[in-house]
Amino acid sequence: MLTAITRSVTESIVDCELTFLPRRHIDVSKAIRQHRQYEECLRRLGVHVISLAPEPGLPDSPFVEDVAVVVDELAVIAAMGAVTRKPEVQSIEHVLSLYRSARYLNDSATLEGGDVIQAGDSLYVGLSRRTNREGVDQLREAVSPFGYQVRAVKVSGCLHLSTGCSYIGSNTILANPDWVDVSRFDGFKIISVPRSEPWAANAMLIGDTVIAAGAYPKTRARLEQQGFRVETLDISELEKAEGGLTCLSLIFDSDKPAAVL
């Protein structure tokens, strides 16, 4: 069974970290409703959702994807690139310990889960404002004993690799080529988002359904033309906090036991 860790939105989201977006008014009540609809969508698609208690003092805490990289055999706990986000790790680390053995990065590394995209036994890791080369190297050291290949991908113009591209199944990457080096995805089919919808490349695959943000109808049309089943969600207020669909959950297969290290 797929399990998703999520965390509720609080009023403090208005004080979120922003890197590539200007600060705009966030309708907190609407953001809370959108987050609940997101959780309901995951449940409807068969995902077991663990909704953690809110952290009012941590504005970016709903973006739980960033705090770990979880594969079948272990969880690599992130070394957050944003200093203000480091306290987010503790409670999620505790929940993950029920499912996976943990590995940690040393102080020379920065790595956020939003910079990691998994496609089979390949982990593509963004070199971004939040993840450095040492973070990539230490992740490789942690997962390579289990047969995973780690490949670095240069990111520019957006916060994380997952902001600029997503693996959506069927050997396909949805991408904004202006923000990520798609040449690193050799052997994959690339579906480029329209230039009028640059933020549309963050999507997530649950079963046979691609969940996409509702603000990008041209991207949805492209996906459906290529045979993908698409469901859309309105996350407009969460996008103002530089968040995307994948940011809002940390998803892993809870049927597969962690390795004994």
Work out whether strand 122-127 and strand 116-119 pair parallel, antiparallel, or are unpaired: antiparallel
pTM tops 0.75: yes
Assign 260 a pLDDT band (cuts: 50, 70, 90). very low
**Residue 259's pLDDT band (cuts 50, 70, 90):** low
> Rounded to whole angstroms, what are the CA distances from 66 to 17, 85, 178, 249?
13, 9, 23, 9
Structure tokens at 128: 């971004």
User: What pLDDT shows up at residue 255?
Assistant: 84
Q: pLDDT tens digits, residue range 191-224?
A: 999 999 999 999 999 999 999 999 999 999 999 9
Convert the pLDDT of each residue in 14-63 to its tens digit: 999 999 999 999 999 999 999 999 999 999 999 999 999 999 999 999 99
End-to-end CA distance of the chain: 23
Share the mean pLDDT of the chain. 96
Residue 258's pLDDT is: 62
Which residue in the list 16, 41, 158, 160 is annotated as catalytic? 160
Catalytic residue flag (residue 158): no
Q: Which of 16, 41, 165, 247 is catalytic?
A: 247
**pLDDT digits over 135-173, tens only?**
999 999 999 999 999 999 999 999 999 999 999 999 999
Kindly report which listed range (85-99, 108-122, 191-205, 239-253) carries the lowest average pLDDT score.
85-99
Q: Which domains does the chain have, with CATH numbers?
A: 2-253 (3.75.10.10)
One-letter identity of residue 207: G
Q: What is the pLDDT, as a whole number, of residue 261?
A: 40
Give yes or no: 41 in active site. no
